[in-house]
Amino acid sequence: MLATHSLELIDALMLESTQDDLHRLSTYRLNLTDGVLENSRLDGEQMAFARGQIEDDLR
């Protein structure tokens, strides 16, 4: 488990990951709005798409 606000670290991890590694990676986003904590999860393949295709900010 790793917590980061660094897109450079996320990108470096993605760059060094094999296709097999992607199945073991995931990103969780947390958002606190009006006292309600919401979360969402992206698996490794979704992370690769988000960063590579649409340059989504995964922090």
Return the higher-pLDDT residue of 57 and 39. Answer: 39
Residue 41: what pLDDT? Answer: 93
Sorted by where each begins, the domain ranges of the chain are 7-52
Longest dimension (CA), the chain: 39
> Distance of CA 31 to CAs 12, 36, 41, Å?
24, 8, 12
**Do 8 and 58 meet the contact criterion of CB atoms below 8 Å apart?**
no
pTM over 0.85: no
> CA angle 30-45-36, nearest 5°?
15
